[in-house]
Structure 1
Amino acid sequence: MASNSLAQDLDDILVRTYDLWDELRSQRIFITGGTGFFGCWLLESLIWANDKLGLNAEVVVLTRNYDAFRNKAPHLANHPSIQFIIGDVTSFNFPEGNFSYVIHAATEASAKLNEENPLLMFDTIVQGTRHTLEFAKLCQAKKFLLTSSGAVYGKQPSALTHIPEDYIGAPDPTHAPSAYGEGKRAAEMLCTLYGKQYGFEVKIARCFAFVGPYLPLDTHFAIGNFIRDGLQGGPILVNGDGTPYRSYLYAADLAVWLWTILLKGRSCYPYNVGSEEDMTIANLAYIVAKAFSEAIEIKISQSPIPGSNPSRYVPSTKRALTELNLQSRVNLADAIKRTIIWKYSSSGSK
């Protein structure tokens, strides 16, 4: 069973997606990246619906490290409806049989890897996507979901407050750290080509920034680092001047959006996935600090450069709202509090 701190979220997801699940009745689903942040929420919500509605769906999950996942989420690792295969996304052995749905959520958004070995980052995204598409072709998938990224747009113009799907900007191909964004662009192209040539629907979710249970608290995600700092009693350290603008969608909302895009979205037609509630990183630090009962100090390491335009990474989600009726239901303050509560409950802290 999911922890008590997740049960309310999973019930809410089920209510909001209730009309979707019949399509998955007695179906087989294959998921890459199923043990990461996105994958855990996809599995939690799928298994919750499977058990509550008697869907009799089966899911096969590709993982590089089953033992680590079993330690993190034993109720998922041991669930009878989930099977695991061990392998790398670029070379895994294809499981036997047909799968109606393939979800490709692999490839960590690792700033460290993108900085230290951008070629490996690019190759992993592109080769992993092509290998998974080859499997989708072989297993006669009907629908394929790619979790892409807002990084495909390149640097967001400071005058563009919320970036829409029809923005035609791109990462700088002569800048090595563009490997992640360029890799995702190539992945979208591969998905489009395979879908059109082999006759399956391709759904593209361009994902921005998120918060919620299972979010790593020790990587490059600012909100995760701030929550970690708060859990340790502070101070919350802001690397940089705190002026960049970001927005964060709660993980339960994310799960609703991804399932809806997979099952109801238009093929070869990207949807931004994220929140339009923008704020500076400095303001984010203050919101995180206020979520704790004790006073938490905030340290901003640099001063803003006079006259400079702050960077932005904030989506327009009008397409998702108007076409799929997708909305952000959990505000950021509540999202942070729920993440903290889950972290306390999952670690046994009091």
Structure 2
Amino acid sequence: MNKEQLEIIINDCHSIIKRVGNDFNKLQGKKILITGSSGMLASYFLDTINVLNECYFKVPCKVIAMIHSPLLNYKRLEHLRNNPNIKFITQDISKSFDINEDVDYIIHAASKASPKYYLNDTLDTIYANLNGLKTILEYSTNNSVKSILYFSSGEIYGNPDEDNIPTSEVYEGKVLCTGPRACYTETKRFCETLLMNYVINYKIHAKIVRPWHVFGPGMKLNDGRVIADFISNGLNGEDIKILSSGLATRTFCYITDAHVGFWKLLFSNYDGEAFNIGNDNPEISVRELASLMCKLFGNNINYILKKQNDAEYLNNAPLRCCPNIDKAKKLLNYNPEEKLEEWLLKMIRWYQIGVKQYENN
């Protein structure tokens, strides 16, 4: 990652810190475990803590950053390689957990979040989700962890009916438990049940976040999700390819907005509760998004409809995805910004200034 790309991320982190405010003082001098640290969402946790240590804290926050394969494989994290306050540990949390020290906070973000990956190895997806969270929860019963933030997903609601869009946390869901996406959605649903029962039986301090379509720098261009696909097309000077009818609608949330919600939930007292974190406006169709991307690239590209090669990829996918975030607004004072065009332009620029090295890392 070059200097200009890093500057964009650091500025994002300063924005997160400013908006979360004094709650970040709870991290000073503490130790935090972050799983799935190489992912787009978790890597921003590392960068935010690094900025806190460099610019705000007198006593640094120490990080144990768990990654699935050696650090050299993750160019997104190369600037943190020799950071004295971040210890990278290569482990598969679903199979081993060799942390022989106490931690104050845990952010459990390890999971395959893209259908492209979790549909490719369904059994591994199931056991990684279940065993990974069970390991974290078992650890927490024997250690004085102040707060755990577990990453569930907005996909746990399945394909809601029109009366439940925007979709709130009280909606029970409409999920096909034998469908192709069930390896992900059903295990995320069960993991929420598992966490809730650990909270009840062991009085641990744990919260559930359900992210909704978060995007930002560090997203893999071969990720398989719509924004990544469209940016990849545009960067290559190709027409933007819509691998569906393009009529499905989504709301998208830039990573700084999402992280403000994540941190506020981690620092809250709402143990055992689930919160939607995302953006409720604007709801935009895939075709409208493609049209906007064509405009932002500004090089006379168009969008085209193309058949999806993987028949299972869109099977059971929700037609409309829009969260009701009233609970987060009221209880966490969470207020995402509605700047989709500005955020997309920032993300495009981030890739334009250093692009190809991230396609497969």
Alignment of 1:191-230 (within 5 A): 191-230=195-234
Q: Which amino acid aligns with 1:27?
A: K
Where 1:91 maps in the other structure, the secondary structure is coil
Cα displacement (A) at 1:191: 1.2
Counterpart residue identity of residue 270, structure 1: A
Asked whether the equivalents of residues 13 and 44 of structure 2 are also in contact (C-alpha less than 8 Å), the reply is no
Q: What does residue 70 of structure 2 align with?
A: 66
* Aligned residue runs from structure 1 range 236-251, under 5 A: 236-251=240-255
Tell me which residue corresponds to 2:345.
337
| Residue 5 in structure 1 maps to residue 13 in structure 2 | no
Q: Return 66-75 or 84-93, whichever deviates more.
A: 66-75
Contact 1:50 1:56 in 2 (8 A): yes
- Residue 300 of structure 1 deviates from its aligned partner by 1.9
- Read off the aligned partner of 1:291 and give its amino acid letter: L
Query: What code does the residue aligned with 1:282 have?
Result: R
Structure 1 counterpart of 2:140: 136
Displacement after TM superposition at 1:261 (Å): 0.7
Indicate if the aligned counterparts of 1:6 and 1:342 stay in contact, CA closer than 8 A: no
Amino acid of the structure 2 residue aligned with 1:256? V
2:321 matched to which residue of 1? Answer: 313
1:52 aligns with 2:60: no
Count residues with an aligned counterpart. Answer: 342
Equivalent position of 2:311 in the other structure? none
The alpha carbon displacement at 1:126 in A equals 0.7
Residue matched to 2:272: 268
Which residue, 23, 26, 34 being the options, matches 2:29? 26
Find the counterpart in structure 1 of residue 310 from structure 2. none
SS in 1 for 2:14: helix
Contact persistence 1:76–1:82 (CA under 8 A): yes
**Counterpart amino acid of 1:3?**
L
Contact 1:39–1:105 (8 Å) recurs in 2: yes
RMSD: 1.9
Note the C-alpha offset of 1:20. 1.1
Shift of 1:33: 0.7
CA–CA distance in structure 2, aligned partners of residues 59 and 223 of structure 1 = 30
How far apart, in 1, do the equivalents of 2:22 and 2:203 lie?
25
For residue 103 of structure 1, report the CA deviation from its aligned partner. 0.8
Q: Distance in 1 between matches of 2:106 and 2:329?
A: 24
1:90 matched to 2:94: yes
Of residues 171-180 and 258-267 in structure 1, the stretch that sits farther from structure 2 once superposed is: 171-180
Aligned residue in 2 for 1:297? 302
- Report the alpha carbon displacement of residue 235 of structure 1 after superposing the two structures with TM: 0.6
The 1:11–1:173 alpha-carbon spacing in structure 2 relative to 1, beyond 3 Å, is same
Closer, same or farther: CA 142–341 of 1 in aligned 2, 3 Å: same
CA shift, 1:147, in A, is 0.8
Query: 1:65 Cα shift?
Result: 1.7
SS at match of 1:241: coil
1:78 aligns to what? 82
| Structure 2 unmatched runs, 5+ | 308-317
Q: For 1:169-218, what per-residue CA distance to the aligned partner results, in whole angstroms no more than 9, with x for missing partners? A: 24222324212111101111111122222222111101110111011111
Asked if structure 2 preserves the Cα contact closer than 8 Å seen for 1:17 and 1:260, the reply is yes
Deviation at residue 70 of structure 1 after TM alignment:
4.6
Write the letter of the residue equivalent to 1:188: E
Q: Give the deviation of 1:330 after TM superposition.
A: 5.2
How far off is 1:159 after superposition? Answer: 4.2
Provide the rounded CA distance (Å) in 2 between the counterparts of 1:15 and 1:266: 22
Q: Secondary structure at the match of 1:20?
A: helix
Of residues 37, 42, 55 in structure 1, which corresponds to 2:40? 37
Identify unmatched segments of 5+ residues in structure 1.
303-309
Cα pair 1:143 1:202 within 8 Å, conserved = yes
Aligned-pair distance for 1:269? 1.1
TM-score by length of 2: 0.89
d(CA) in 2 for partners of 1:176, 1:343: 32
Distance 1:346 1:49, change over 3 A: farther
Comparing 123-132 with 156-165, greater Cα deviation is found at 156-165
Q: TM-score, normalised by structure 1?
A: 0.92
**What's the offset of the Cα at 1:133?**
1.5
Residue equivalent to 1:165: 169
Asked if 1:148 corresponds to 2:152, the answer is yes
Q: Distance in 2 between matches of 1:77 and 1:291?
A: 34
CA contact (8 A) 2:114 2:225 kept: no
What amino acid is aligned across from residue 258 of structure 2 in structure 1? L
Equivalent residues of 2:38, 2:76 under 8 A apart: no
1:22-55 Cα shifts (integer Å, max 9, x gaps) = 1111110001111101111111112111221124
Contact 1:35 1:69 in 2 (8 A): no
Q: Name the SS for the 1:188 alignment partner.
A: helix
The question of whether the paired residues in 1 share the 8 Å contact of 2:291 and 2:302 is answered with: no
Percentage of matched positions with identical amino acids = 25
Paired residues of 1:63 and 1:86 also in contact (CA < 8 A) = yes
Partners in 2 of 1:182 and 1:46 — Cα distance? Answer: 32
